[in-house]
């Protein structure tokens, strides 16, 4: 079989093309390994906005992405809860603590900053199998190659050892706020018992995400009328807002908070949202995924010589970090404006931690990278 050329002594395949995959490839390259980036067979999400807080930005500075992101992104210096009318403002500083960046612009930055210095493959990965030495990967078109390890951002590759947490199904809709209508000038949120409306402004538009834990009929999931009936009451004035939406640009997704029992196995490790509990609108996710990319590169480059042992060391370190986040969420004392569904309470608290630089008491978590990631 034809094979892709191998340049380094320890080639590592990174499957995915988003920020987490790019950060992983960048950190692996920086650590002296030989990353190869291949696209996932799953359809990627490009539209929307990514929110990055300080720990992720500090790490991205190591691979040259922080300054470009700050240049094209929008610094989020305040956070409003529209339900209570409260607004908090970030302390002044010479670098933004939270930045929102358009995903399309972010993809361009990744292409120019990271993928121009690592090897990339255009063929999607179709299979991975543990081999006598490393992992054998089959690409579309019948090409095969062996790697020391595979880092993937998708659940479609092994290990498949996760189980959805019961009763935590979440529905979300995302779109850009219609032009010509007044928009929030700061990150904002409106909360109801089983519904939430989340807003993130960028330089030229405002991204909206609507979240519900109530059941949604598949036939009406993309109905504008149904959406207005479900969420119209959350807005100060919804007159004409939903009628102005383009149904073809409305994106709907159903997700569940998934608790992975393991993220490693047979030379493969899952990173990003596929390797942690994730809900739409959770602004902690991107920064935590960048941390995970840094940790996996550190574990493979400087951890145990045995690949499986290195991947297990990575998993242990990430579990410790997730415990720190979970404890911070559990310790939060802020009372929500309404009696929230448990899933939405969890989501709201994590968002407050992401915007911790604007709230006294949470700044330490949001502004510093832990000594032991």
More confident call, 239 vs 372: 239
Q: Return phi, psi of residue 87, to 5°.
A: -135, 135
What is the chain's mean pLDDT, rounded?
Answer: 78
CA 43-13-55 angle, 5° bins: 80
State yes or no: pLDDT of 6 exceeds 50: no
Q: Are 75 and 96 in contact (CB under 8 A)?
A: yes
Q: What whole-number distance in Å separates Cα of residue 154 and Cα of residue 45?
A: 12
> Which stretch of DSSP H or E encloses residue 327?
helix 307-331
Winning range, highest mean pLDDT, from 94-98, 129-133, 208-212, 242-246: 208-212
pLDDT tens, 38-85?
A: 987 765 556 678 888 777 888 899 999 999 998 888 877 665 544 433
Query: Mean pLDDT lowest for which of 90-94, 122-126, 222-226, 243-247?
Result: 90-94
In the chain the beta strands, taken as DSSP E runs, fall at 11-15, 34-38, 49-53, 74-75, 78-81, 86-89, 98-102, 119-120, 125-130, 135-139, 144-147, 149-152, 162-176, 188-191, 195-201, 206-212, 251-260, 264-265, 268-270
Q: Are 199 and 207 in contact (CB under 8 A)?
A: yes
Q: What whole-number distance in Å separates Cα of residue 289 and Cα of residue 322?
A: 11
What is the pTM (predicted TM-score) of this model? 0.83
- Percent pLDDT > 70 in the chain is 77
Residue 221: pLDDT band with limits 50, 70, 90: confident
Q: Are 62 and 91 in contact (CB under 8 A)?
A: no
SS3 171: strand
Domains observed in the chain: 11-79+96-161+258-350+361-367 (3.50.50.60), 165-256 (3.30.9.30)
State yes or no: pLDDT of 282 exceeds 70: yes
Residue 361: pLDDT band with limits 50, 70, 90: very low
Q: What is the pLDDT of residue 10?
A: 63
Residue 147: pLDDT band with limits 50, 70, 90: very high
Q: What is the pLDDT of residue 350?
A: 81
Residue 294: pLDDT band with limits 50, 70, 90: very high
């Amino acid at each position: 079989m034809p094979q892709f050329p191998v340049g380094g002594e320890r080639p590592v395949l990174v499957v995915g093309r988003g920020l987490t995959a790019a950060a992983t490839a960048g950190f692996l390259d920086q650590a002296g390994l030989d990353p190869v980036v291949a696209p996932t067979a799953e359809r990627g999400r490009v539209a929307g906005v990514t929110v990055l807080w300080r720990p992720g930005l500090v790490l991205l500075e190591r691979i040259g992405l922080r300054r470009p992101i700050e240049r094209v992104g929008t610094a989020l210096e305040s956070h409003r809860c529209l339900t209570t009318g409260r607004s908090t403002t970030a302390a002044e500083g010479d670098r933004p603590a939270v930045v929102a960046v358009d995903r399309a612009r972010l993809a361009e930055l990744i292409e120019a900053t990271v993928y121009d210095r690592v090897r990339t493959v255009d063929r999607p990965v179709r299979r991975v199998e543990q081999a006598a030495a490393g992992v054998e990967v089959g690409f579309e078109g019948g090409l095969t190659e062996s790697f020391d390890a595979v880092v993937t951002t998708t659940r479609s590759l092994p290990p498949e050892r996760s189980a959805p947490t019961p009763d935590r199904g979440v529905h979300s809709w995302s779109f850009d706020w219609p032009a010509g209508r007044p928009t929030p000038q700061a990150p904002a949120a409106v909360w109801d018992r089983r519904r939430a409306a989340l807003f993130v402004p960028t330089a030229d538009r405002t991204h909206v995400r609507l979240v519900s834990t109530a059941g949604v009929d598949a036939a009406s999931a993309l109905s504008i009328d149904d959406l207005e009936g479900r969420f119209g009451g959350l807005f100060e004035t919804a007159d004409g807002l939903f009628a102005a939406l383009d149904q073809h640009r409305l994106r709907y997704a159903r997700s569940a908070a998934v608790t992975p029992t393991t993220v490693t196995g047979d030379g493969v490790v899952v990173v990003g949202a596929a390797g942690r509990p994730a809900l739409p609108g959770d602004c902690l996710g991107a920064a935590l995924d960048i941390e995970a990319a840094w940790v996996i590169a550190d574990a493979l480059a400087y951890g145990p010589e045995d690949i499986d042992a290195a991947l297990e060391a990575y998993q242990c370190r990430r579990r410790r970090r997730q415990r720190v986040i979970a404890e911070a969420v559990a310790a939060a004392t802020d009372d929500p404006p309404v009696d929230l569904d448990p899933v939405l309470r969890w989501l709201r608290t994590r968002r407050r931690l992401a915007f911790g630089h604007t709230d006294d008491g949470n700044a330490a978590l949001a502004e510093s990278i832990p000594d032991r990631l």
